[in-house]
Chain A
Amino acid sequence: MARIEVPMPQMGESIAEGTVSKWLKKVGEAVQRDEPILEISTDKVDAEIPAPSSGTLVEIVVSEGATVEVGTVVAYIDSDGGPPATNGKPAAEAAPAESKPAEESSPREPTPSMPLPPPASPPPAAPSPAAAPASSAPAPAGAGVQAPDSAEERMRTRSTPVVRRIAEEHGIDISAIPGTGHAGRVTKNDILGFIESGKEPTRPGQTAVGTAPAPSAAPSSPAVVTSAPGTATPAPAAAPSELWERFYGEVRHPEFPIRSADRVEAMDKIRRLTAEHMVVAKRIAPHVHSFIEIDFTAIDRIRSANRQRWEEQGARVSYTAFVAWAASRLLREFPMVNSTVSGNNVIYRGNVNLGMAVDLNPGLIVPVIKDADELGLVGIARKLVDLAERARSRQLNPDEIQGATFSITNPGVLGTLVGMPVIPKGTSAILGTGAIEKQVVVVQDPATGDDAMAIRKRALFSLGYDHRIVDGADAARFLARLKEVLDAFPEDA
């Protein structure tokens, strides 16, 4: 008869053991392939384990409450459906030697030797400002802080099981790696970074004593070279998803030496989030910028003619309001400019939500005019003033800085000719508006049809776009339409 092993399955890359919480089937019961036969629990997760094959559950090896390593056989199924093995050991005392009583590795209190691995990417807003100055020192964190304990001790206290497994696969001595984790612990990122830095030997199983940078490098202790238990296949050192996370999710800013006259300050939250966002946004989207010159003469005329009326309505209609109005109308014509690449898909946004960059001096925040295409010129103007004022007095609601589908930034307000803005993550384009200045331009004399010089108010606009989804010609058409609308701005907007 075919006796099939039921191993404690690998339920995750960093999961080294599991506790049998409940047997759903008894010895002698028939089981179907993929039918749940037991429940296991690891930290905060209960999981059902399906039968690997149909047949009869003939022996339960690991009893409820026992914790065993991944790969340990927990039961046997007889695929021929024969009677239960009469010589099967009683379940209660058959737990293998390495299993521990449940209390020792209770999910709610991980033991020190079995700490949870650190999260794959650090929480964006986690580090406390107080900690930042310390970490800006050029020395690697954790190095030199550790007491000179034995290599084995250091190995045990300075790493997690997953790190040890990766180390073992690559034949790396963990004690040689500067740890950035809690108490100088070597995190998964540390070891992956170390591997990527090319300091490791390529053949698994080889100890990297010679190549390790630290003088304290000691041969791997037996505890470290113990092979992965049972039939479990060790996870690859850097799964593609892991690299993905690290590249697109995690931002680490390199550190630089501090000179004597320097001042070091921790970044405040807005700065830190901005820094992270900019790095990620640039990593994600291949940026291209196109430029066009806009004539504001018509808009200037409309502004002068209506200023008094608008003031009576309590509205201040800025040049930016005109631009936002025009852009919000055009985005419906150019869905790719109001979209985002998401995986292998493109999400075309159903709303037109304009992110309007506001200079907080210092700092930058981008409040959002929701459904701008449903607002008239004066409505947009009012919203702009309101958002900018509340942004500066730090009174924006969180939902007012979320959900932008397209953004406008105005470097021109301080006289800059034009900018090349970064496309906010999750959108496909951003419009930069340059300083509006009087220029002498060549126009056609309407009376004679001859070339003539005229004084016009003009500005350079730039469109930064994600070249994955917006082609150069799309951008050109969008800018040309924008010019068309703004150059001859409708009186009734």
Chain B
Amino acid sequence: MGDSVRGLTVRRLGVVPYAQALALQERLVSERRSGRVGDMLLLLEHPHVITMGSSSDPEHVLVSAEERDRRGIDLVEVGRGGDVTYHGPGQLVGYPILDLKPGRKDLHRYLRDLEEVIIRAAGSLSVAAHRSPGLTGVWTATGKLAAIGVRVSSGWITSHGFALNVCNDLSWFGTIVPCGIHDRDVTSLSRELGREVTLDQASEAVLEAFGDVFQRAAL
């Protein structure tokens, strides 16, 4: 293939409000496009938030505005693919800001690659995860382990990404119909293993897999 390994700057940002992460991504996408920064992977957590993609069905948000206020859940509309998603503490959110040129200019391949990262990372933590034909995301036998929704901006620059349930309280997913899929449960790495998996452990596994799948070496 002759494709050499590219560097990858990894930023562990801790807990970042959704709107702030959105603004950061927008800035990084434009800086990536102009070449001022290299490929990056942002790893972070969001406070409780429900996000709606451009194709979201508002009926998939199951809590009223009053209840959202009461429980402290934000609702944000964003320019990415995918339906309604919930994010919250204990979920590892990864936003790769990558230039997919020249070798990876394929939207489906990019989605499948992100799934592969999660599957490998889960595998390295002894969780058997898989794709589900016709659905983007990563599943285990129990339910949905990770949601994926991405945006590819002009110049094949990526933003948004994946949300991997690590040790989050899954009951919060009761506030939405995840990605418009009614009939499937959500799960997390901790639930799968019956023990607490930390975000650090999950991050390490994801980083390792990310480097392998995308041929990027963490700088």
Contacts and interface: CB of A to CB of B under 8 A. Distances in A.
Interface string B174-203: 000001110000000000000000000100
Contact of B5 (A12, A48, A117, A345): A345
A269 B123 CA distance: 10
Given A109-B180, A240-B1, A13 B82 contact: no
B55 A125 contact: no
Interface in B98-112: 103, 105-112
Interface in A136-174: none
A117 B154 contact: no
A34 interface: yes
A121 B110 CA distance: 13
Nearest to B137: A44
Interface stretch (B19-27, B40-48, B63-71, B124-132): B124-132
B149 A44 contact: yes
Given A107-B55, A402-B124, A402-B208, A12 B150 contact: no
Given A126-B131, A343-B3, 6 more contacts: A12-B109, A41-B81, A102-B55, A110-B134, A116-B136, A123-B130
B130 to A, nearest CB: 3
B208 A21 contact: no
A99 interface: no
Interface in A327-355: 342-345, 347
A47 B133 contact: no
Given A343-B5, A403-B208, A47 B107 contact: yes
B103 A241 contact: yes
Interface in B105-153: 105-112, 115-116, 119-120, 122-131, 133-137, 141, 148-153
27 contacts: A14-B108, A22-B54, A34-B154, A41-B81, A44-B137, A45-B107, A45-B111, A46-B79, A46-B150, A47-B152, A47-B153, A107-B81, A108-B82, A108-B83, A115-B133, A115-B134, A124-B120, A125-B123, A125-B127, A126-B119, A342-B215, A343-B2, A343-B4, A347-B5, A398-B201, A399-B204, A401-B124
Interface string A257-281: 0000000000001000100000000
B170 interface: no
A347 B217 contact: yes
B72 interface: no
Contacts of B120: 124
A125 B105 CA distance: 27
Contact of B134 (A39, A116, A401): A116
Interface string B154-174: 110000000000000000000
B195 to A, nearest CB: 10
B103 A117 contact: no
A424 to B, nearest CB: 13
A126 B128 contact: yes
Contacts of B180: 108-109
B73 to A, nearest CB: 21
B181 to A, nearest CB: 8
B205 interface: yes
A325 B144 CA distance: 45
A182 B133 contact: yes
Interface string A278-313: 000000000000000000000000000000000000
Interface of B: 1-5, 53-55, 57, 79-83, 103, 105-112, 115-116, 119-120, 122-131, 133-137, 141, 148-155, 179-181, 201, 204-205, 208, 212, 215, 217
A117 B55 contact: no
Contacts of B208: 402-403
Contacts of B150: 44-46
Contact of B54 (A21, A110, A120): A21
Contacts of B151: 45-47
Given A115-B133, A119-B116, A182-B133, A343 B152 contact: no
Interface string A220-248: 00000000000000000000110010000
A119 B131 contact: yes
A11 interface: yes
A235 to B, nearest CB: 9
A48 B82 contact: no
Given A39-B79, A343-B215, A347-B217, A46 B54 contact: yes
Contact of B55 (A41, A347, A403): A41
Interface residues of A, number: 58
Interface string A15-36: 1000001100000000000111
A106 interface: yes
A81 interface: no
Contact of B130 (A42, A43, A125): A125
B214 to A, nearest CB: 11
A344 B212 CA distance: 14
Contacts of A45: 81, 107, 110-111, 149-152
Given A45-B151, A123-B119, A126-B129, A13 B134 contact: no
Residue of B116, B119, B133 contacting most chain A CB atoms (<10 Å): B133
A118 interface: yes
A44 B119 contact: no
Contacts of A182: 133
B107 A15 contact: yes
B55 A108 contact: yes
Contacts of A244: 1
Contacts of B111: 43-45
A327 B36 CA distance: 42
A34 B155 contact: yes
Contacts of B79: 39, 46
B201 A44 contact: no
A219 interface: no
Nearest to B136: A44
Contacts of A345: 4-5
A407 B133 CA distance: 38
Would you list the 9 A-B pairs with minimal beta carbon distance, nearest first?
A126-B130, A12-B106, A44-B136, A108-B180, A125-B128, A123-B119, A47-B152, A12-B108, A44-B81
B134 to A, nearest CB: 5
A240 B180 CA distance: 36
A432 to B, nearest CB: 25
Interface in A81-115: 102, 106-110, 115
A397 interface: yes
A350 to B, nearest CB: 11
Listed residue (A41, A45, A273, A399) with the most chain B CB atoms within 10 angstroms of its CB: A45
